Amino acid sequence: EKALLVIFCCAMLACKTEASKGVVPQIIPAPQSLQIEEGIFELSSNTYLTFDKELQPAVDFWKTLSSSVLGSNTGKTNEMRVSLDENITNPEGYTLDITPDLIHLKAPTPEGAFYGLQSLFQLLPPEFVVPDYESEGIEIQSLKIKDAPQFPYRGMHLDVSRHMYSVDFIKKYIDAMAMLKMNTFHWHLTDDQGWRVEIKKYPKLNEISSYRNETLIGHYSDQPHQFDGKRYGGFYTQEEIKDIVDYASKRMITVIPEIEMPGHSQAVISAYPELGCTGEQVDVATKWGVFEDIYCTKEKTFKFLEDVLDEVLELFPSEYIHIGGDEAPKTRWKTCKDCQARIQSEGLKDEHELQNYFITRMEKYLNAKGRQIIGWDEILEGGLAPNATVMSWRGTDGAVKGAQSGHNVIMTPTSHAYFDYYQSDNEDEPLAIGGFLPLEKVYGFNPIPEELSKEEARYVLGAQGNVWTEYMPTEDHVENMAFPRMLAMAEVNWTTPDNKNYADFVKRLEYFHKRLDILDINYANHLYETKG
């Protein structure tokens, strides 16, 4: 009997040690420093929450996440305190100290507090977000985190022109970004294959430009496709857009709209042929590619674009407006009377300088309204608009040129940031646009081009994952391409290179699968060993 008792006591002790460990921290993106301490904090409905009112926006969000656990705040067994600390120098930084009696989060801004809460959230069991999740007390490991992002711009892009996705899906995408401490959603709203934003002044944009006579583009385009008579597409109403922008801002995410010009504008020209060079009617594009019918540089076009932007500015309070600028073939401009007359009257050398005239003119318009422009690296063509930020996608040359001439740059090179590329060479990979970008390569990305000096490197605002959707007709498919590469991009942007480690990331990612499952995110999960 004595022996049994000894065994029983040992077993109890073992249990106790097990319990005193809490959930091992598995945070993505990895914090700058994390130190495990002795003891466990037990989070429950008796945890007393206090906060400085300056940080209220972050705390409000926490309450929506955790209402089932932090319901009553009556018993006061222990405390969670969110306090303002203006000594933390990075405006998005925070410290998180967890001891058995107190969770103490300190931040200089609501953003910093929000990221601290996201880290805390990742210390809780993944089931925490399941409605009605009941817990007598969630054990959290005592620890000290000191954290701040490496880059101020941490972006994800989504193309909704080639295929459109529901408002709920856009919110789900934003939720995932927020969890990963990303802060910018680049919303690619217009392209040759469909116009997706409601514009009241030009109703044909939504009656005609928002729909095409073909459901599928991408790989289906080479095969004969029977048009079933139903138009395909749609657009987001201004009310829906306002709702999304507000939803994102509660999650500390800025939504930057992209309105493409002068290229990728065939959908517009299908509704308003007079804005093109030939005046001829064209259809909303049903295949992927680069199209020659682009905006003409006549006054009527500029008036149209200014009117459109006026409505766009009402919907999007972002400092930046993305005006495209990529892949604008000059074929039509070469033979267009209006464009040639413009070249003459402005004393320009050629059509490349005419592109620069176009972008600079739109920049002036937006600057006068207190906004800044971002353009793809083609905006370097024929000279760079004075205040523009360059989004560098064709390698890093654009970024190097931009930064060396004192312009801000955002890194999205195809080599490391194109999530429409294949992510594995498994045979069951769905058909993709080509290119090969496995998870490990995304993870290894250093957004600062080698050619830049320390001084010049300051112009690199950060990096962004791009999700072009020619080959992604469904929301499930988008998720499969975006996850887990989005997680790697989050760590590229947040974590300094000396704190990055791919093997460790993969371990944390495997743990993260449970979270993604609970959030019903259709991630690809066979990507960690790369063959090619």
- Catalytic site positions: 191, 264, 327
Report residue 472: phi and psi, to 5°: -125, 75
Measured from the CB of residue 417, what is the shortest distance to ligand TNX in angstroms?
10
- For the segment 219-278, give every residue that binds ligand TNX (CB under 6 A): none
Measured from the CB of residue 470, what is the shortest distance to ligand TNX in angstroms?
6
Measured from the CB of residue 385, what is the shortest distance to ligand TNX in angstroms?
17
Place of tokens 């070469």: 334
- On whether the CB atoms of residues 506 and 444 are closer than 8 A, the answer is no
| Alpha carbons 467 and 479: distance in angstroms, whole number | 10
- In this structure, what is the dihedral angle of CA atoms 505, 507, 510, 514, given to the nearest 10 degrees? -100
Measured from the CB of residue 286, what is the shortest distance to ligand TNX in angstroms?
15
Measured from the CB of residue 350, what is the shortest distance to ligand TNX in angstroms?
22
- For the segment 94-123, give every residue that binds ligand TNX (CB under 6 A): none
Measured from the CB of residue 185, what is the shortest distance to ligand TNX in angstroms?
17
* 40 vs 160, beta carbon nearer ligand TNX: 160
Picking from 396, 442, 438, 381, the residue whose alpha carbon sits closest to that of residue 417 is 442
* Total site size for ligand TNX, rule CB under 6 A: 9
Measured from the CB of residue 179, what is the shortest distance to ligand TNX in angstroms?
26
Q: Which of 468, 483, 505, 523 binds ligand TNX (CB under 6 A)?
A: 468
* 292 vs 326, beta carbon nearer ligand TNX: 326
* 30 vs 359, beta carbon nearer ligand TNX: 359
H helix or E strand, kind and range, residue 194: strand 194-195
Report residue 195: phi and psi, to 5°: -105, 125
* 61 vs 232, beta carbon nearer ligand TNX: 232
| Alpha carbons 491 and 149: distance in angstroms, whole number | 9
DSSP state for residue 23 in the 8-state scheme: S
- ∠ CA(66), CA(68), CA(72), 5° rounding? 100
Residues 6+ apart with CB under 8 A from 323: 258, 259, 260, 261, 359, 362, 363, 366, 373, 374, 375
Picking from 421, 414, 423, 413, the residue whose alpha carbon sits closest to that of residue 528 is 423
Q: Which of 175, 306, 326, 397 binds ligand TNX (CB under 6 A)?
A: 326
Residues 6+ apart with CB under 8 A from 362: 261, 302, 305, 309, 323, 373
* 173 vs 393, beta carbon nearer ligand TNX: 393
| Alpha carbons 202 and 197: distance in angstroms, whole number | 11
* 221 vs 525, beta carbon nearer ligand TNX: 221
- For the segment 388-427, give every residue that binds ligand TNX (CB under 6 A): 393, 418, 420
* 90 vs 331, beta carbon nearer ligand TNX: 331
| Alpha carbons 398 and 362: distance in angstroms, whole number | 20
- For the segment 421-460, give every residue that binds ligand TNX (CB under 6 A): 433
Measured from the CB of residue 298, what is the shortest distance to ligand TNX in angstroms?
25
Measured from the CB of residue 356, what is the shortest distance to ligand TNX in angstroms?
17
Longest alpha-carbon distance in the chain:
104
- For the segment 469-508, give every residue that binds ligand TNX (CB under 6 A): 470
**Taking CB under 6 A as the rule, does residue 292 contact ligand TNX?**
no
| Alpha carbons 509 and 487: distance in angstroms, whole number | 8
- Bridge partners (DSSP) listed for residue 372: 320
CA 54 centroid distance within chain? 26
Q: Which of 327, 338, 397, 429 binds ligand TNX (CB under 6 A)?
A: 327
- First-to-final CA distance of the chain: 62
**Taking CB under 6 A as the rule, does residue 216 contact ligand TNX?**
no
Is the bond into 386 cis (omega within 30 degrees of 0)? no
* 142 vs 161, beta carbon nearer ligand TNX: 161
- On whether the CB atoms of residues 29 and 490 are closer than 8 A, the answer is yes
* 128 vs 418, beta carbon nearer ligand TNX: 418
**Taking CB under 6 A as the rule, does residue 376 contact ligand TNX?**
yes
Say whether 475 sits in a helix, a strand or coil.
helix
Measured from the CB of residue 465, what is the shortest distance to ligand TNX in angstroms?
12
Contact string 330-369 vs ligand TNX (x = CB under 6 A): ----------------------------------------
Q: How far is CA 257 from CA 205, 309, 316, in A?
A: 16, 10, 7
* 31 vs 218, beta carbon nearer ligand TNX: 218
DSSP state for residue 68 in the 8-state scheme: T
Please give the residue ranges that form the binding site for ligand TNX (CB under 6 A).
Answer: 326-327, 376, 393, 418, 420, 433, 468, 470
